Structure 1
Amino acid sequence: MSNLILQRLADLDASAWDALVPSAQPFLSHAFLSALEDSGSVGGRTGWTPSHRLWVDAQGQLLAALPAYVKAHSYGEYVFDHGWADACQRAGIAYYPKLLCGVPFSPVTGPRLLGYPEAAGQLLDQLSQGLAAQGLSGLHINFTDDLADALLSGREGWLERLGCQYHWRNHGYRDFQDFLAALASRKRKQIRKERDQVAGQGIDFDWRLGQQLSEAEWDFVYACYANTYAIRGQMPYLTRTFFSLLAERMPTAIRVVLARQGSRPVAMAFSLLAGDSLYGRYWGCLAEFDRLHFETCFYQGMDYAISQGLQRFDAGAQGEHKLIRGFEPVLTRSWHYLTHPGLRAAVADFLEQERVGVRAYAEEARDLLPYRQD
């Protein structure tokens, strides 16, 4: 068996990679990950150096893989370890570079240890044992699925971290009004008021598939996306080319809702659809409109999920304001292997206390859900 490093996903046949990826996992597909690389969204000076790990047999057959990146910072991961890095700097311990297994800029739970479980476990063990020799402070695996959790929980040195997101579930609603009927009266009135406020500003919505957008419309989508960073004085993670490549490579998975005031587009929300789930990823607007964010990012996606018979709408990380709109708290997991024994011990103690707090928070958050109690 051999552990290989792949620095460009384009150097591996797409069918070989995708054969390891379970169905309905668009963020792990060769098309999505290679679009990030080929567009310059990762690689180069971005601080994300592709370093995918492959486990092959003597005949060169690919048995397992990890989508991985050598990181020179902790941005774009959505599992925040800046505090760990700061503590290392004060103590004179090198925290960067580190190795991250995950999907850049995409806090979506899914498979991370791809391929046959036994082979993935062998790859993981060899990789963790060789980190120090490669000058890496640790390996971090973010937003894992149940299979990865099972493989990692029994392995020495791995530390579990919990997080909390908010996902909307379709409990067999016939339409959006049926969803509203499941809510407490005050919450139902609040959502109706928010939707009426947007409609009262003369704003309509138009859903498109990836192949239905012109390059000019993709320019608008990107302008909206980039503006969400510009207003915070930041540079966007993704390049304009990424969106064109994604539209070319996986058009049927893309869903974009355009908000228009008359003939003028003013906002958009970009999502990917796979299996029974809709994943809301990027949003932006070029002017200020009251309640437009809630309508474009939440209610439109919920409405679309109901109309298409989808079971779940993941509208992205964070956002307690999702709770009162029917998004339920969901625990997420990440796993961390740190080579420095002192750092590992300190982080282990921190995570033990943090897990208790996260679990308690998730339980308390359920009290804020708007559903009727009868």
Structure 2
Amino acid sequence: MSLTSLEHLGELPAEQWDALVPAGQPFLRHAFLTALEDSGTFGPRSGWKSQHLLWQENGKTLAAVPGYRKSNSSGEYVFDHAWADACYRARIPYYPKWLGAAPFSPVGGRRLLGAHDAAQKLLRAVPNFLEQHDFSGAHINFTDPRDNELMAGESEWLHRLGCQYHWHNRGYRDFQDFLDTLTSRKRKQMRKEREQVTAQGFEFTWLKGAEVTEAQWDFIYACYANTYHVRGQSPYLRRDFFSLLAERMPEDIRVVLATQGGQTVAMAFSLVSGDTFYGRYWGCLAEFDRLHFETCFYQGMDYAIANGLARFDAGAQGEHKLIRGFEPVLTHSWHYLRHPGLRDAVEEYLGQEREGVRAWAIEARDALPYRQPQP
């Protein structure tokens, strides 16, 4: 029995890895993770280096965690920059750290892959792994209920709560059926937003991964990258990632293109798996009134309703989603910090933060637009 690390997931056959991944979690599939690796997304300056953990017995992989050696805190969506800054001021090394996550994807799901007993053995071997590789700690982000149960049984791991906003399709026949559940003022506001986009002459086309041409991928990437460039930042993903993903898992990809006067001007890139629509990347080449809300939210809601999808996960942050019917959902992450002083300080902070997050999740429901409380 042993814990081993793997620096390139392509060295492990896809069927062995994917056998451990629960259904409906595309961001953990071998195809998705190797597309990130093979596209050069984890370059020397990215702060990311693959270091997946495998628990093996008699030469068979029974449990795993998608893992990364991190020299910064970019692209994680569970923000620990304040912890790193405190360590810098105290001259305590914070990097490198080890991260268990779906890179650049703030979606909840299984992280401790495999059967319960094997995953527990892997988890209990992590502290020794950290010491051997001189990591300051380990961080496992956006875990699911099974993971939370396992992690809660290990007293040295610190629990952190966050809040996202998801939309739920409660069997709506169409978008108007959804609007009928809202208060009059909010119903009129959403209808007006959509009418403003229509009045500007926008049309929308949905494509699956196999239907997208390389020229369209060039446009999609230009839009995606522009959302970073306008903020003076470099995009996380490389252009080749999108082509590799379209080659390796086209059935999960959905792209909506917005055109005006025959010219494509904006896009939203999403994945669909199981009963969930995952909205991921958006971008446009010019600013248009209300186009963001239509392309990123209302088009996705339309798609979910038309295709019988139960949930729309639109990603991290965004309190503006509340007034459009996206409900607060608690997220979970877990942190193991080797330095005792840092651990004690973070543990105290997280206790206070959890209270605040829970209170906000309750308070945020007051901003929802529904006429009746949602279950």
* TM > 0.5 fold call: yes
SS state at 2:351 partner: helix
Matched, 1:112 2:129: no
One-letter amino acid matched to 1:143: F
Asked if 2 retains the 8 angstrom alpha-carbon contact of 1:169 and 1:327, the reply is yes
Equivalent position amino acid for 2:190 in 1: I
2:354 match: secondary structure: helix
**Residue type of the alignment partner of 1:337:** Y
* Structure 2 equivalent of residue 302 of structure 1: 301
Q: What is the alpha-carbon distance in structure 1 between the residues aligned to residue 153 and residue 120 of structure 2?
A: 11
Is 1:6 aligned to residue 6 of structure 2?
Answer: yes
The aligned counterpart of 2:239 is 240
| Counterparts of 2:332 and 2:369, CA distance in 1 | 26
| Separation in structure 2 between the aligned mates of residue 192 and residue 7 of structure 1, nearest angstrom | 50
Alpha-carbon distance in 1 for matches of 2:172, 2:125:
48
Contact 1:137 1:340 in 2 (8 A): yes
Q: Is the 8 A contact 1:99 1:138 kept in 2?
A: yes
Equivalent residues in 2 for 1:58-73, closer than 5 Å: 58=58, 60-73=59-72
Unaligned runs of 5+ in 1: none
**TM-score, with normalisation over the residues of structure 2?**
0.98
Deviation at 1:129, TM superposition (A): 3.0
* In 2: Cα distance, 1:49 partner to 1:143 partner: 19
User: Residue in 1 aligned with 2:93?
Assistant: 94
Partner of 1:17: 17
Q: Is the 8 A contact 1:43 1:50 kept in 2?
A: no
Structure 2 distance, partners of 1:187, 1:332, is 27
Deviation at 1:130, TM superposition (A): 3.1
Partner of 2:47: 47
Contact 1:197 1:291 in 2 (8 A): yes
**Where does residue 282 of structure 1 map in the other structure?**
281
Residues of 2 paired with 1:297 and 1:169: CA distance? 15
Cα distance between partner residues in 1 of 2:314 and 2:338: 35
- Separation of aligned partners in 2, 1:129 and 1:366: 43
* Residue aligned with 2:95, SS: coil
Q: Distance in 2 between matches of 1:244 and 1:320?
A: 32
Q: Does 1:165 align with 2:164?
A: yes
Distance 1:252 1:177 in 2: 29
Q: 1:253-292 counterparts in 2 under 5 A?
A: 253-292=252-291
Matched residues in 2 for 1:144 and 1:127: separation? Answer: 16
2: distance between equivalents of 1:183 and 1:265?
32
Instruction: Report deviation, 1:127.
Output: 1.3
TM-aligned CA deviation for residue 44 of structure 1: 3.3
Cα shift at 1:208: 0.3
Number of positions where the alignment pairs a residue of Structure 1 with one of Structure 2: 373
TM-score, scaled to structure 1: 0.99
Paired AA for residue 209 in structure 2: G
CA RMSD after TM alignment: 0.8
Q: CA deviation at 1:92?
A: 0.8
Report what 1:35 is aligned to.
35
Separation (CA, whole Å) in 1 of partners of 2:318 and 2:122: 36
Offset at residue 116 of structure 1 (A): 1.4
Q: Which runs of 5+ in 2 are unaligned?
A: none
Q: Distance in 2 between matches of 1:83 and 1:45?
A: 21
